[in-house]
Structure 1
Amino acid sequence: MRGCVPGLPDLPPEAVTLLVEVGAPARLGAHLRVVYAVACELTAWLAAAHPALVFDRAAVVFGAATHDVGKVLHPRELSVPGSLHEPAGERLLVQRGVPPRLARFAGTHGSWHDSRAGVEDHLVSLADKIWKGKRVEDLERLLVERIADVSGIAVWEAFVSLDDRLQELAAGADDRLAFQNAFPV
């Protein structure tokens, strides 16, 4: 069952090293891997479909690969909702030498209205939702409005474009959930 998501990319080596060093449980690694995979697909599509939207793709995929690292310090949040892992994860990453511009995703992925949050943060947050098929209207609206603004297209056109892609990504949610849940907490 652990290999039930065909083509799921491995996490970047620097993320794997970090997770091993902090003793991340297997379930956390699996979760980060599926969110990373969705972020890779989402950012590749976005760069091709809406090239006027400038964003740091490498930052987004790194953020997706490490966004929940604070759960090693708050392991209860591996199985119940909570946000203590967010600032803890950001601090942990900075303490481990990750530049603050990359560590911030651990702190902003659950609060896309954070004053620090830009398009990269919104993309990490979106990948962290859509991997399991969850749609969050206000988060998606932020990205739709940004796409429309920089692309010079109507908001409805940006919405249809993003909505179509998110539906496609959400379609793989059951397989990604099964993959993640095959690993122990």
Structure 2
Amino acid sequence: MLSTPLAEGAELTTLEPWQAAELTAFTDRNRAHLEPWLPWAHDVTDEAGARRFLQAYADKQARDAGRMFAIRLHGELVGGMIYRLFDTAEGSCELGAWLAPEAQGRGLVTEASRRMIEWAVDVRGLSRVEWLVDPANKASIAVARRLGMSHEGTLRSRFEMAGKRRDLEVWSLLSHEWREARGS
């Protein structure tokens, strides 16, 4: 399996449609933790829904418009990362992440995000990486800060989820900021 090490026993790997049963089981175990923040957690309620969700990202990857990855700890699916949007013509992408409660506090999302930023900026030549987050999601905002992102503002009442209008904070990192932070 293709993978990138993140920490001792942790890796970033592919997450593909054939792994729908695994994503379904993960979502079922973590639904209460995921649903406040992730619209897809409301839709992945069975293997068919998980397969549709994963296939949508496989199709995005085929168009070079997005990608999805698993975060694994000792081989077990404990979270994931996405390029929700990936636009080489505009030179920008949007990262997203999720993690099971028992895997938090290990720096896995931060390290996985660094690897994804490195690939987007250094390999693919993108100029801008975005991180959109509900203002109440303090853990996700902390990741954006650790990555050196700047808070650009808040999109008020940006979307509806579970019958409630939600705001989204926009955080970003520009390629020159990424390079300067790494000293290259």
Same fold (TM over 0.5): no
- State TM-score, norm by structure 1: 0.29
- State TM-score, norm by structure 2: 0.29
Name the structure with the higher helix share. Answer: 1
Structure number with greater CO (CA < 8 Å, separation at least 6) is 1
